[in-house]
Amino acid sequence: MRRSALSAALLMAFFACTPPEPVDLLLYNGKIVTVDDAFSIREAVAVRDGIIVEVGGADLVAKYAATQSIDLAGKTVLPGFNDAHLHISGSPTREIDLRETTSIEELQAQLRAKVAELGEGEWVTGYGWSEDAFAEQRKPTRADLDAAAPRSPVTLTRAGGHSAVVNSLAFALAGITRATPDPEGGILEKDANGELNGVIRERQAIVGRLVPRATNEETRPGFVQNLRDLLPLGITSLVQAGVSTEGYAEWEVVYAEHGAELPRASVQIRWGGLEAMNAFGKKTGDGDERLRVGAVKVFVDGGFTGPSAYTIDEYRSQPGFHGSLALPEEELRTTIREAHALGWQMGFHTIGDAAIKLAVDDFAEVLAASPRENHRHYLNHFTVRPPPEVMDVMAENHILITQQPNFTYTLEGRYVEYLAEEHAAHNNPLRSPMDHGVFVALSSDILPLGPLVGIYAAVTRKGASGAVYAADERLTMEEAIRGYTHNGAYITFEEDLKGTLEPGMWADMIVLSDDLLTIDPERILDVQVLTTIVGGRVVFQR
């Protein structure tokens, strides 16, 4: 204690000769995890004009005079999470939130309440149900919906967005009967008697197109609030996983009005054809430090919440079924050539290993014919591990991955049901693509939305049941943290601006309730974000 007091006195005497430099924010007396190349740990960080000025030891307290000082009391600070793939939108008044619904009976009660609110005959929509969360352990059917809403058309989308269940009135309004052929790239599920059971895989828009479109004015308050709700999760930057060229305008309106209080955003644009993309007039990287245009988005296949992911091997529970492509192969090749020629970065949805191989082969072909340095094309999801030679081609062509380790936690039931044992075990691989030299960023998507769940699954490889899936795919805690911070910034060409806590970087930081580097991995899901800082401004305080 005497030595500490003497050291402090000497430091005070030294800095007494030099007036302290003004800064806006000083965090001190903590564990600052910089995520620099050496993964250095410091004690304090000083911020001016939204930029990190210095990261260092206790001497920064005397060196800088801060407008706002925060004594961390030993807490851990990380760079803010750069979530490289998620979905954010506003909700219309006709929509039911089904994300916390735990039974079909509860779903029916919510449906009856919404019909009473809107009046019979009005369309009712919903999002977020999962058969894995239901006490009945099955999908809802049109009979379940008919019992609760016989005179109102209903379409309820499953968590993940790759299927929906509709009622009989919705089918009737859409002109769909048992004789209707499956839509291209989708499936109308039927029961043992050949009758429609109400579930539509991947092409639920054949009914959803009839739902009256909500106005931006109706959905905007919820949209803004859903963006704000990312801050308590520690998300300081996000990649929105696809909007139309027209939809980007709403993001511009929201960020013009509220940008300073929201996470930074990079918005993927869904490919709308060569003419539409030229008319859009923007491309990857356009925008500013708060909102910018991201990669172009294309669905190569579906997902396992449908299911319709395109796989090399047949589905375990559906002999002869391999899923389906979302668009014809030649159209995919043409799209890749055109987007690459226009200078877009490409970030394509690929879940099944057959879809992954197809996209990788097409990317490699266009890059061989028209090389482009630092293109950073990437695949979203990469759920079913492809053959090793596919990952080698990815490494050779610098094709990246945005992976969702949290899917291992929440979708284990789907993988076990649909995939052969080896594929189910290695779902959402992490270590193996990295061992092949493939760059991997981590992200949340929407199952659930929250990086700490992904970090838990990345370092434990555990599903919600506690089962471990391919322990050899585990990441170290340092790798998982880097995957959600620096690597997410790399996906959007911003690794020199954010993702680490170093001088000259944007001051995007989070304070955690516990130290991820020392915590028992089983406690990761209990960790809370205490403070979120974007651009040196505290935007959330628990």
Which structural domain, as residue segments, surrounds residue 372?
Answer: 217-494
Task: Evaluate whether residue 54 is within a structural domain.
Answer: no
Task: Evaluate whether residue 51 is within a structural domain.
Answer: no
Instruction: Please check the confidence at residue 366 and state whether its pLDDT lies above 50.
Output: yes
Q: List beta partners, residue 540.
A: 532
Q: Label residues 41-72 b or e (16+ Cβ within 10 Å = b).
A: ebbbbbbbebbbbbbeebbbbbbbebeebbeb
pTM surpassing 0.85?
yes
Q: List beta partners, residue 207.
A: none
Q: 311 with 283: CB under 8 angstroms? A: no
Q: What are the pLDDT digits (tens) for 58-68?
A: 999 999 999 99
Round the average pLDDT of the chain to a whole number and report it: 95
Tell me the Cα Rg of the chain: 25
Task: Evaluate whether residue 134 is within a structural domain.
Answer: yes
- Which amino acid, residue 365? E
Pair (461, 340) in one structural domain: yes
Pair (353, 247) in one structural domain: yes
The structural domain count of the chain equals 2
Pair (352, 415) in one structural domain: yes
- Which amino acid, residue 137? Q
Q: Any idea what the CATH number is for the domain that residue 129 is in? A: 3.10.310.70
Q: What are the pLDDT digits (tens) for 134-192?
A: 999 999 999 999 999 999 999 999 998 889 999 999 999 999 999 999 998 899 999 99
Side-chain half-sphere exposure of 208, counting CA atoms within 13 A: 21
Residue 537's closest CA among 10, 13, 50?
A: 50
Instruction: Please check the confidence at residue 374 and state whether its pLDDT lies above 70.
Output: yes
Domain boundary residue, one of 152, 182, 208:
208
Q: What is the mean pLDDT of residues 480-506?
A: 98
- Residue 6 — very low, low, confident or very high, per pLDDT cuts 50/70/90? low
- Residue 334 — very low, low, confident or very high, per pLDDT cuts 50/70/90? very high
CA distance 401 to 384: 13
Side-chain half-sphere exposure of 342, counting CA atoms within 13 A: 24
Pair (267, 157) in one structural domain: no
pLDDT at 1: 44
Q: Any idea what the CATH number is for the domain that residue 404 is in? A: 3.20.20.140
- Report the largest interatomic distance among the alpha carbons of the chain, rounded to a whole angstrom: 88
CA distance 385 to 408: 13
Pair (251, 188) in one structural domain: no
Q: Which residues contact 473 (CB under 8 A, 6 or more apart)?
A: 426, 428, 429, 430, 431, 432, 461
- Which amino acid, residue 535? G
Task: Evaluate whether residue 387 is within a structural domain.
Answer: yes
CA distance 372 to 489: 20
CA distance 14 to 320: 77
Residue 207's closest CA among 238, 237, 230, 186?
A: 186
pLDDT at 12: 52
Q: What is the mean pLDDT of residues 513-532?
A: 98
Pair (246, 383) in one structural domain: yes
By DSSP bridging, strand 509-512 and strand 76-79 are antiparallel
CA distance 16 to 31: 26
Pair (262, 410) in one structural domain: yes
Task: Evaluate whether residue 320 is within a structural domain.
Answer: yes
Pair (251, 321) in one structural domain: yes
Task: Evaluate whether residue 378 is within a structural domain.
Answer: yes
pLDDT at 515: 98
Sign of dihedral through CA atoms 399, 230, 72, 17?
A: positive
Q: What are the pLDDT digits (tens) for 202-223?
A: 999 999 999 999 999 999 999 9
- Distance between start and end Cα atoms, the chain: 33
Task: Evaluate whether residue 516 is within a structural domain.
Answer: no
Pair (281, 255) in one structural domain: yes
Q: What are the pLDDT digits (tens) for 448-462?
A: 889 999 999 999 999
How far, in Å, are 189, 190, 205, 307, 447 from residue 163 at the CA level?
10, 14, 10, 8, 14
Pair (236, 162) in one structural domain: no
CA distance 188 to 420: 24
Domain boundary residue, one of 142, 173, 208:
208
Pair (135, 274) in one structural domain: no
Task: Evaluate whether residue 417 is within a structural domain.
Answer: yes
Pair (269, 150) in one structural domain: no
pLDDT at 396: 98
CA distance 424 to 400: 22
Give 198 or 447, the one with higher predicted confidence.
198
